[in-house]
Structure 1
Amino acid sequence: MGRRNSCFPGKFVPLFYIFTALIFQQEIVICQEDKSFSNPAANRLYNQFIFDKLSNLTEVFEDDIKRELGFCITNVKEDYNEAFNFSTKPEFLNACGKTTKGDMMQRICTAAEVKIYFNGLLGGAKRATNYLKPNKNCNLSSWMSGCEPGWACRTAKEVKVDLKDDKNVPVRTQQCAPCCAGFFCPRGITCMIPCPLGAYCPEAKLNRTTGLCDPYHYQLPSGQPNHTCGGADIWADIGSSSEVFCSAGSFCPSTIDKLPCSKGHYCRTGSTEEINCFKLATCNPRSTNQNITAYGIMLFAGLGFLLIILYNCSDQVLATRERRQAKSREKAVQSVRETQSREKWKSAKDIAKKHATDLQQSFSRTFSRRKSMKQPDLMRGLSQAKPGSDAALPPMAGGSSDTKKGKKKEKNKLTEMLHDIEQNPGDTEGFNLEIGDKNIKKHAPKGKALHTQSQMFRYAYGQIEKEKAMQEQNKNLTFSGVISMANDIDIRKRPMIEVAFKDLSITLKGKNKHLMRCVTGKLSPGRVSAVMGPSGAGKTTFLTALTGKAPGCTMTGMILVNGKVESIQSYKRIIGFVPQDDIVHGNLTVEENLWFSARCRLPADLPKPEKVLVVERVIESLGLQHVRDSLVGTVEKRGISGGQRKRVNVGLEMVMEPSLLILDEPTSGLDSSSSQLLLRALRREALEGVNICMVVHQPSYTLFRMFDDLILLAKGGLICYQGSVKKVEEYFSSLGIVVPERVNPPDYYIDILEGILKPSTSSGVTYKQLPVRWMLHNGYQVPMDMLKSIEGMSSSASAENSAHGGSAHGSVVGEDGTSFAGEFWQDVKANVEIKKDNLQSNFSSSGDLSEREVPGVYQQYRYFLGRLGKQRLREARTLAVDYLILLLAGICLGTLAKVSDETFGAMGYTYTVIAVSLLCKITALRSFSLDKLHYWRESRAGMSSLAYFLAKDTVDHFNTIVKPLVYLSMFYFFNNPRSTVADNYIVLICLVYCVTGIAYALAILFEPGPAQLWSVLLPVVLTLIATSTNDNKIVDSISELCYTRWALEAFVVSNAQRYKGVWLITRCGSLMENGYNIKHFPRCLIFLTLTGILSRCAAFFCMVTFQKK
């Protein structure tokens, strides 16, 4: 990019002379006496004749010019007119004709001489030397005054000059004289070439102080006292012939006139006319540019004002909507309570009247029947409202019309199964129960015809109050009782999932190490099961296995879903998994988090009133009413409390109405009251048929008694107990392990399994023997290595195991004494297997057997879009900081990197590409880096990855549009290049779109720290490669693939298109030196856009492929 000694490097083709030679290819002989030049009519005919000849010459070499110089010339005729159309100011031709006494055309160079000039110019020799090749007129033996710079000679009168001849140089040695004004005469040839428009080529004058011919830089030859200064001596790029260019602050309407720029106008270098300044710009006389900083400030202020209005309006709309919803909820609650009070009072009056009538009957008979009538009367008092009204309660089973008519309902398979579960909770045999329409009644919800917010909330709170009343009346009602009642009344029920596991063993691949062995049991619908055990017992591994995922492990045994060997992943739409970490969106409110999960995961055909009921029920049961409109909060910004955040984490799964709910330590970090509140909500879910399994860590006794079943694991993933909580103490007492008084049973058992406490010696059992004792107690097969590895195990136990079919040849997995190299290799193999299994899991599909139709990709895309819009509005301060940094970058680069006419502002654009790429990449990283855990959770729940990615990208298009404006508002108006704002804006939009896609891929592939380093490194390295001047084919090939090159080329080309006339050689030289093409502007934009699209495709592929399960 530095200053060049000549306008082109030597590798450029010598055919460039064609470009200039095209104006000298017609033989023109005009004889005109001196007195004729004073005749205006004759001058017009003379000039018109020349113009006609010159304008027709473009067609002769148009194909050659397009072929050889197509990279810097878009339109041959247009560029010719911009450089050599002297029709408006032809005075210098008349003056030259008068000076040369009519032999001007005999002094103009032929094609051969022009070829000599440009070949020498392309050679790169220094200006002070004779850089033209020796020729017929100027050589070592013949060097006349016409060979000196600024001088020319004519041919003999009898010599016929063919200007199209590019092979023979005519003898041009007569009447040598200074070069005409408006022409330049190079050193080493004896002819003249017209200066292009935008040049100033007056006759030179000797500066006796410097000895130079001003305004040019050549000296008078020594030993020739009669030699004087001539005309211009060179036209090349601005770096080699800046004195020929019309100086900044002046304009040159012709090549011999230079006028100062007047006030209110500005004139750049090479101007042929002065340009009007904008109204708010300040342009003093001789201004070289206009100061349009005020317009940049106005643009930024207008943009900022528009963004503030948009933010405030959007925030106001959301706030108004929330207030309206809050008012609707309050009115609904008040309406339901008032209606209930009225109905209760009316029912009480009716009951009192009826009792007064009954008192007239026999006292003994009345007393004997009061007990049987009390319950139905009370329920009628609570539910006598009209069907569908706010206070209407579902009739109890005893009050159904079928019962009154004496119709007896047959017990269905579901009811029989549930009765059996309650009577035999320890039975590990599974049940064969279909999921779908055959066993689940689907009734049209009552809320289907409701439309307004108030109606929906009244309906929801009315239903919630009914359910509370039912629970109050039936505190000890079992799940089978709920199902039996639901068979008689109009209640929507969930499909049931029972999970049974037999001889479940998990072995780590590569290391061949057991994580879990011989686990047998079942999880039943309508029951809350607790998984407990010491650290390292495999509790989380057990939950992972239940969900059908064990990456990097070999899983043996069977997992039965409703009595069938099916992948549990086929039911993921009705399975909820609550992770141990509270993965909740901190910049959303509690209600917004729950509603998003409900919209995406509840059945698509479920009416909105029913969804409102589900969400309100969960908020009510989890005790989140008073914080429903509060932001959840993040580490940086405080929100709700930790216990409330934990309940929101659970609520995200409860609102999708799961049939199987798995929770990983949901009570960790909660106090006793919060834990009980959470468990009561889960028990309410269990009453609706949900199969709940949760890992807990040493619960309190009160909390422990709230569980239905217990799965107790020992170290090594061995099961010690699986069954009812009510029978656990009885079982361990049979082994001689009695819990002391005032000691919490789960704490005591876990301390024994940890080895902290030892069972009493009278029991004859050690903590290592407890898993084997359980297996023998239930008649399970025990591997022989487990028996042999436990000292003190009686031979009778071994015989008993053999009777049950236990293996006589066990193998110990994992031997001690492995070398460091062996352990390292095992770790490598295990990691490879985990990666392999994750990839297979991400691309495997087990189908869907849940028969739940969730919203499609487009609908989920709309939900994601709404959520992201709210999040972006709440991150407005962070976005404002991003814009401010971009604004400061524009000011600094616009001020420091001034436009260089020699390189068309390439240096400033280079800094622009680096700065914009770096800043936009770093900000785009936040789109995916901060939400990885949320995406993994939502993806595992079955939400659409495509909808998530497209919504993120769509929201980021706002930055793609606004950020270029923010940057240009300072950079362009401080730097003021010749290219238009529109061209720069289009290039920046494509650049930001491109780097945003690359940032997506980096954010998904790497952790936040390395992703930021790559975002900084890539723009710098790729820009260095794109601007490298080394003649290295490998580097050049890589450069063609760099987005920075396409952005730089687009910027430079958009600027170079504005340089015409005298700038033509500079334009072609600069473009050729950098390998740019003036016609590639659309192509560069397409490449940038295509890179953005491909990088987004790669990012989406990586997001789906490398997500953690």
Structure 2
Amino acid sequence: MEQEMADVVVATRSNGNVGQQISHQAIFDKANRPVSLKFEDVVYKIKVKKEGLFKKTIESEEKIILKGISGIVLPGEILAMLGPSGSGKTTLLTALGGRLNGSLSGNITYNGKPFCNVMKRNTGFVTQDDVLYPHLTVMETLVFTALLRLPNTLTKEEKIMHAEDVITQLGLTKCKNSIIGNRLVRGVSGGERKRVSIGQEMLINPSLLLLDEPTSGLDSTTAQRIVSTLWDLANGGRTIVMTIHQPSSRLYYMFHKVLLLSEGNPIYFGKGGDAMDYFTGIGFAPMFSMNPADFLLDLANGVSVDDSRDDQAILKQTLVSAYKSNLAENLETELNQPNGNLHSVADGKQHNRWTTTWWQQFSVLLRRGVKERKHESFSGLKIGQVLAVAILSGLLWWQSDSSHLQDQIGLFFFYSGFWGFFPLFNAIFTFPQERLMLEKERASGMYRLSSYFMARTMGDLPMELVLPAVFVTITYWMAGLKPTATSFLYCLLVLLYSVLVSQGFGLAIGALVMDQKSATILGSVIMLSFLLAGGYYVQHVPSFIAWIKYVSIGQHTYKLFILSQYKAGETYRCAQNRTCLIEDFPSIKSVGLDGHVLSVVALAIMLVGYRLVAYIALMRIGVTRK
């Protein structure tokens, strides 16, 4: 049967329609350390909450997703996990990759050792959905990954060369300068995108490679090319485990071993070529020649070719019982055999937790973030929006003077309101949009959370600060505010200060909620509450709710804006051409012309505090068992 599988691989590669296939030789060097993966009696349970008529939880029950699954995959082998949707394939794969939290029991070992950080560094995990930045090119994607994941024993130039080698070996040379793209942005094809995902994992030369539905959504020729690549990688001594939904027959015979699942139960584990004989031997033979994978999936769904067997539940239970009677004992014997010459991946080595320094991670993530988001940050729409509002505001408040004191104060309140909401909504989407990427990269141990957080927030600062600076420069002089450099700089610094605080507030809400729609609603409600308590609309706030102004970004900003223009003792023209003291003007009196230090300190606390909340909220993402 091994020869039959090899013949299928050679035959499919010689097909004239696939003329530019990767050569039959192993496309990468051999694995650093071969890994024998064993999993014994793996059980995974979750708690399912039941809801009443009005969505009130009335009770929770325990649901078993994986029901005592065992298996072994040796170096040089491909294990394909088959089964209908909901059978537990992805859950098991996630558990084997050390990424599953919760009520997981059983024993999963890698050369006889449990999962650890060193094993994480030698494990590649390719998710079903290709989580990639759409506006980076193929080359940029792999180079940034290489700079982050490859150790400092390699120079920067060597890491880039390694990325170029991966591009060549995966047949991505023609599209290396094309952007990845997504549903909204035209980029590389689905097959090329999948090979980029595999290439990201192959950069670290993993001993164990796990793939979730690598052929999902691809045509048969592209799917065959992907699996042929995996065959070559296995020949290099790697251990490969993949889930696959409905492979063609020529793909099926490329799998060394097959694990068939039905509702979390194993009903077959063994060589792929022996599966048909096994089921024929227990009384389930196909009535006509068919794709083995289709036949196995029919059985896993409780569908038999024998029309007399109508009860799916009985059929599934029969298959589970047959597995326990005919296969479980032999598998247990195989699992108890020693690993032979295989040693732990960590044997004889001292490893740091991170392959690169904090500063390297920060600088690479900063450059990558700027490249990915420059199209959004420097978009003509956003710039045009700010310029249009600035010019309109300047015209509405054109050359107002002290006789129009209420108008000038209204402009300052507009400053605090507009530049409270604008950076807030820009920042709210930051972490929800990047959640999948952060989960993926943190789970692989690519970088520290602190380096990501600093790079992500610092990368947005240029446009966060440039646009308000341009805005206030236009409106300040058009509105005829106090024409001194000191007052202008004071006003500008106050605006930039408040923008940073509002950005931190948006980051905190986005990180806490992690849902764009919910975060937007929550941010709007809170910011409107701050705005209403800002001292402009309501000057006599009842004492029981007056506390809001002390935590209001808008109120402190509004007060500092007023202090940038007016000082106690100054006068203005009031009714009947009399002069009145500035501090007696109602809108100013309610805010006061003192306590600027308190407002500066309050905003400083918010500036640090909101970002700290965002960072702590992000710590729950990408946490996996060790």
TM-score for the superposition, normalised by structure 2: 0.82
Name the SS of the counterpart of 1:647 in structure 2: helix
Partner of 2:124: 576
Code of the aligned partner of 1:894: G
Query: In structure 2, how many angstroms separate the alpha carbons of the residues matched to 1:850 and 1:498?
Result: 21
Deviation digits for residues 737-758 of structure 1 (CA, Å, limit 9, x no counterpart): 3345541011111112212334
- Corresponding residue to 2:107 among 543, 551, 558: 558
Partner of 1:984: 491
Contact (CA 8 Å) 2:31, 2:238: kept in 1 or not? no
In the alignment, structure 1 residue 544 sits paired with structure 2 residue 94: yes
- Corresponding residue to 1:1057 among 538, 543, 567: 567
Partner of 2:323: 774
Equivalent residues in 2 for 1:419-568, closer than 5 Å: 493-509=31-47, 510-551=60-101, 553-564=102-113, 566-568=114-116
Partner of 2:426: 923
**CA deviation after TM superposition for structure 1 residue 988, in Å:** 0.7
Query: In structure 2, how many angstroms separate the alpha carbons of the residues matched to 1:850 and 1:643?
Result: 35
- Corresponding residue to 2:470 among 937, 962, 966: 966
In the alignment, structure 1 residue 743 sits paired with structure 2 residue 290: yes
**CA deviation after TM superposition for structure 1 residue 523, in Å:** 2.3
Partner of 1:630: 178
Query: In structure 1, how many angstroms separate the alpha carbons of the residues matched to 2:142 and 2:81?
Result: 27
Query: In structure 2, how many angstroms separate the alpha carbons of the residues matched to 1:900 and 1:742?
Result: 93
Code of the aligned partner of 2:529: V
Code of the aligned partner of 1:530: A
Code of the aligned partner of 1:733: T
Deviation digits for residues 752-787 of structure 1 (CA, Å, limit 9, x no counterpart): 22123345879xx934311221121135499xxxxx
Query: In structure 2, how many angstroms separate the alpha carbons of the residues matched to 1:849 and 1:700?
Result: 44
Partner of 2:14: none
Partner of 1:46: none
Partner of 1:937: 440
**CA deviation after TM superposition for structure 1 residue 710, in Å:** 0.9
Code of the aligned partner of 1:1050: L
Name the SS of the counterpart of 1:663 in structure 2: strand
Query: In structure 1, how many angstroms separate the alpha carbons of the residues matched to 2:439 and 2:465?
Result: 29
**CA deviation after TM superposition for structure 1 residue 860, in Å:** 0.7
Partner of 1:791: none
Name the SS of the counterpart of 1:768 in structure 2: helix
Query: In structure 2, how many angstroms separate the alpha carbons of the residues matched to 1:1035 and 1:720?
Result: 64
Contact (CA 8 Å) 2:139, 2:164: kept in 1 or not? no
Code of the aligned partner of 1:971: T
Equivalent residues in 2 for 1:634-1033, closer than 5 Å: 634-715=182-263, 717-759=264-306, 766-780=315-329, 853-875=354-376, 878=379, 880-897=380-397, 898=400, 901=403, 902-903=405-406, 905-942=408-445, 943-978=447-482, 980-1006=487-513, 1007-1027=515-535, 1028-1033=538-543
- Corresponding residue to 1:1101 among 616, 620, 624: 616
**CA deviation after TM superposition for structure 1 residue 554, in Å:** 2.3
Which ranges of structure 2 fall in alignment gaps of 5 or more residues?
Answer: 4-21, 48-59, 332-348, 574-578
Contact (CA 8 Å) 1:1071, 1:1077: kept in 2 or not? no
Query: In structure 2, how many angstroms separate the alpha carbons of the residues matched to 1:756 and 1:720?
Result: 14
Code of the aligned partner of 2:469: L
Distance 1:559 1:768, change over 3 A: same
**CA deviation after TM superposition for structure 1 residue 513, in Å:** 2.0
Code of the aligned partner of 1:540: T
Code of the aligned partner of 2:602: F
Contact (CA 8 Å) 1:532, 1:713: kept in 2 or not? yes
**CA deviation after TM superposition for structure 1 residue 665, in Å:** 0.4
**CA deviation after TM superposition for structure 1 residue 1074, in Å:** 3.9
Query: In structure 1, how many angstroms separate the alpha carbons of the residues matched to 2:184 and 2:291?
Result: 38
Query: In structure 2, how many angstroms separate the alpha carbons of the residues matched to 1:744 and 1:945?
Result: 47
Counting aligned pairs with the same residue, the percent is 27
Code of the aligned partner of 2:266: I
TM-score for the superposition, normalised by structure 1: 0.47
Name the SS of the counterpart of 1:582 in structure 2: coil
Partner of 2:54: none
Partner of 1:173: none
Query: In structure 1, how many angstroms separate the alpha carbons of the residues matched to 2:93 and 2:217?
Result: 20
Contact (CA 8 Å) 2:378, 2:463: kept in 1 or not? no
Contact (CA 8 Å) 1:993, 1:1089: kept in 2 or not? no
Query: In structure 2, how many angstroms separate the alpha carbons of the residues matched to 1:726 and 1:1060?
Result: 93
What RMSD, in angstroms, separates the aligned Cα atoms of the two structures?
3.1
Code of the aligned partner of 1:987: V
Query: In structure 2, how many angstroms separate the alpha carbons of the residues matched to 1:500 and 1:636?
Result: 42
**CA deviation after TM superposition for structure 1 residue 493, in Å:** 4.7
Contact (CA 8 Å) 1:497, 1:561: kept in 2 or not? yes
Name the SS of the counterpart of 1:1105 in structure 2: coil
**CA deviation after TM superposition for structure 1 residue 903, in Å:** 4.7
Query: In structure 2, how many angstroms separate the alpha carbons of the residues matched to 1:1070 and 1:608?
Result: 63
Equivalent residues in 2 for 1:33-182, closer than 5 Å: none
Equivalent residues in 2 for 1:261-272, closer than 5 Å: none
Contact (CA 8 Å) 1:759, 1:766: kept in 2 or not? no
Higher Cα Rg, which structure: 1
Name the SS of the counterpart of 1:1026 in structure 2: coil
Query: In structure 2, how many angstroms separate the alpha carbons of the residues matched to 1:579 and 1:1054?
Result: 54
- Corresponding residue to 1:1039 among 533, 536, 549: 549
Distance 1:915 1:582, change over 3 A: same
**CA deviation after TM superposition for structure 1 residue 492, in Å:** 7.3
Query: In structure 1, how many angstroms separate the alpha carbons of the residues matched to 2:475 and 2:623?
Result: 43
Equivalent residues in 2 for 1:180-259, closer than 5 Å: none
Name the SS of the counterpart of 1:881 in structure 2: helix
Partner of 2:165: 617
Query: In structure 2, how many angstroms separate the alpha carbons of the residues matched to 1:900 and 1:756?
Result: 85
Deviation digits for residues 296-333 of structure 1 (CA, Å, limit 9, x no counterpart): xxxxxxxxxxxxxxxxxxxxxxxxxxxxxxxxxxxxxx
Larger RCO, structure (CA 8 Å, separation 6 or more): 2
Distance 1:1056 1:916, change over 3 A: same
Query: In structure 2, how many angstroms separate the alpha carbons of the residues matched to 1:868 and 1:890?
Result: 28
**CA deviation after TM superposition for structure 1 residue 718, in Å:** 0.8
Distance 1:930 1:557, change over 3 A: closer
Distance 1:1039 1:609, change over 3 A: closer
